[in-house]
Amino acid sequence: MIRQALLLAALTALLSAPALAQTITFADAPPGAKPKDFEPALTGGGKPGQWEVVEDSTAERGRAIAQLSADNTDYRFPLAIYMPTVPSDVEVTTRFKAISGKVDQAGGLVVRLVDRNNYYVARANALENNVRFYRVVGGRRQQLASANSKVTSGEWHTLTLRAQGDRFSVSFDGKPLFTHADKTFVAPGKVALWTKADSVTRFDRLEIKPLQ
C-alpha cells in the first residue's frame, strides 16, 4: 500500500511538472536528410515542400534546415511540423534566412497547430519588408496584425511568436512589434516552420519555451 502511494505521488508529480524549454538545431543531421521529429505538410496548392538539412557556414553549428522547392504557386504554404505536442501557452523563436524567391521570400513560425489547415502563424517577408500575424482556419488564411520592418535577404534574422491565453505577441530581431488577441485556437498543439510560394528559406534554430 505504501509503495503504491509513493508510485502514485511520483506519477502525479511527473505529470504536473512544467514542460521544459528546448532548443533544436540541425548540426547532427547529415546534409540531404529530413530532420528527426519533423514532418512536412502543405497548406494550399502546388507541390509539397522540399525540406532538407543543408550545410551553411554562417548557420549555428554549420547546418540548417531549408525549404528548397521554388514552386511559384501563390497560395502555397509548406510546413515542417515538429511532431511532439507542446503546451498552448508557449514562446517560440527561430533564426531564419531568406535565400531566394520571386513571388515571396518568407520565413514563419506556427503555434497551436491542429493540422495542416488550422493554426496561427507569424511570418516575415523580405520582398514586402513586413511582419504579419495570421490565423489559418480550414485552410483559409486571415490576417490579424501587421507591422512594417526591414527584412533583408541573405542575412539571418530572429522571429519570435509568444502565445499566452488569447494574447499573441510578435517580435523581430529582438524588437517587439505588436500584440493581438484571438480565441480561435486555445488547446495545446504543435509548432512548425513555415514558408510561402517559391520562398527558398533556411532555419538554423528553433527554441520552444513553455509558459506554464
Distance CA 64, CA 55 (A): 6
- pLDDT tens string 36-63: 899 999 999 999 999 999 999 999 899 9
Maximum distance among all alpha carbons in the chain? 68
Q: Which residues are CB-contacts of 132 (< 8 A; sequence separation ≥ 6)?
A: 122, 123, 125, 143, 145, 146, 147
> Domains plus CATH for the chain?
20-210 (2.60.120.560)
- Compute CA distances 100 → 104, 126, 210, whole Å: 8, 9, 32
* Residue 133 contacts residue 114 (beta carbons within 8 Å): no
pLDDT at 36: 87
pTM: 0.90
pLDDT at 60: 87
Distance CA 162, CA 183 (A): 14
Q: How many Å is the Cα radius of gyration of the chain?
A: 18
Q: Which of the four pLDDT bands, split at 50, 70 and 90, describes residue 188?
A: very high
Q: Which of the four pLDDT bands, split at 50, 70 and 90, describes residue 35?
A: confident
pLDDT at 4: 54
* Residue 206 contacts residue 94 (beta carbons within 8 Å): yes
